[in-house]
């Protein structure tokens, strides 16, 4: 029978952020067995654990389900999209100017 494997990237996130299992034990008050099973994907995770880990790692909970490189690419994409929305387009009024325009050129 195959060992259970769970679909998250905790080990990769720990490596990326310079954390180790012993940090989970010390900082989150986990026992060594739980830390090992969670990091190696051999124990099911709960919503509370996902939230606890994401807060500890300073990432969004859904990012634990993504490889860190994919999560960083997604962050860059979101940032680029937000920047595009904030760029004024030629001929289109922005901010306070838009509130004073009447739609006529006069």
* CATH code (residue 81): 1.10.260
In a domain, 64, yes or no: yes
Provide the number of structural domains found in the chain. 1
Question: Taking the mean position of all CA atoms in its chain, how far away is CA 15?
Answer: 15
pLDDT band at 86 (very low <50, low <70, confident <90, very high): confident
Average pLDDT over residues 37-55: 94
Average pLDDT over residues 32-39: 96
pTM: 0.72
Full residue range of the structural domain in which residue 74 is found = 10-99
Over 60: is that where the pLDDT of 102 sits? Answer: no
Residue 102 vs residue 10, higher pLDDT: 10
In a domain, 2, yes or no: no
Over 80: is that where the pLDDT of 43 sits? Answer: yes
In a domain, 82, yes or no: yes
Quote the mean pLDDT of the chain: 85
Burial of 71 (0-12, 13-18, 19+ CB in 10 A): buried
Tokens of 105: 């050129």
Q: How high is the pLDDT of residue 28?
A: 97
Residue 102 vs residue 34, higher pLDDT: 34
DSSP 62: G
């Amino acid at each position: 029978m195959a060992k259970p494997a769970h679909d998250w990237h905790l080990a990769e996130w720990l490596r990326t952020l310079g954390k180790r299992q012993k940090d989970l034990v010390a900082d989150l008050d986990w026992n060594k067995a739980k830390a090992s099973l969670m990091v190696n994907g051999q124990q099911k995770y709960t919503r509370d654990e996902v939230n606890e880990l994401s807060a500890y790692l300073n990432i969004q909970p859904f990012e634990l389900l993504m490889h860190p490189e994919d999560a960083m690419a997604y962050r860059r994409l979101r940032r680029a999209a937000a920047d595009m929305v904030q760029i004024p387009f030629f001929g289109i009024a922005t901010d306070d100017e838009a509130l004073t325009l009447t739609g006529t050129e006069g």
